């Protein structure tokens, strides 16, 4: 079973930055697609950003130009750098790793953007 451990969330003022991390217990090379999702209260979970095994990235329109997904193969970790944060970015953020044999989720981490 693959374990994903998230860190880096918290409370930040509008316009601020946070970096989320998601460390996997398995080699990152075994996954085809890795990404970050978020779920705000009363809303469905949505894709925020994704990165393929080949390094291609994809972003939700609402975060393009503000968020960056990246990975560190040596640490089996993906990151989500979030800049120019807005109150509407407030949500629980989840990392997700996918491969043919399974679909794995982190436990979720709260990000709150408020003054």
With beta carbons less than 8 A apart as the criterion, state whether 53 and 29 touch.
Answer: yes
Predicted pLDDT of residue 91: 98
What share of the chain has pLDDT > 70, as a percent? Answer: 100
Predicted pLDDT of residue 1: 86
Q: What is the mean pLDDT of the chain?
A: 96
CB within 8 Å of 5: residues ≥ 6 apart: 22, 23, 106, 107
Q: What is the pLDDT of residues 54-79, one digit of tens each?
A: 999 999 999 999 999 999 999 999 99
């Amino acid at each position: 079973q693959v374990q994903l451990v998230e860190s880096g969330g918290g409370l930040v003022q509008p316009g601020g930055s946070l970096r989320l991390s998601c460390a996997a217990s398995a080699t990152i090379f075994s996954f085809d697609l890795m990404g970050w999702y978020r779920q705000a209260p009363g809303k469905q979970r949505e894709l925020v950003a994704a990165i393929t095994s080949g390094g291609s990235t994809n972003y939700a329109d609402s975060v393009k130009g503000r968020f960056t997904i990246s990975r560190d193969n040596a640490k089996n970790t993906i990151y989500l750098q979030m800049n120019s944060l807005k109150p509407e970015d407030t949500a629980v953020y989840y990392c997700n790793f996918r491969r043919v044999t399974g679909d794995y989720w982190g436990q979720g981490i709260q990000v709150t953007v408020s003054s």
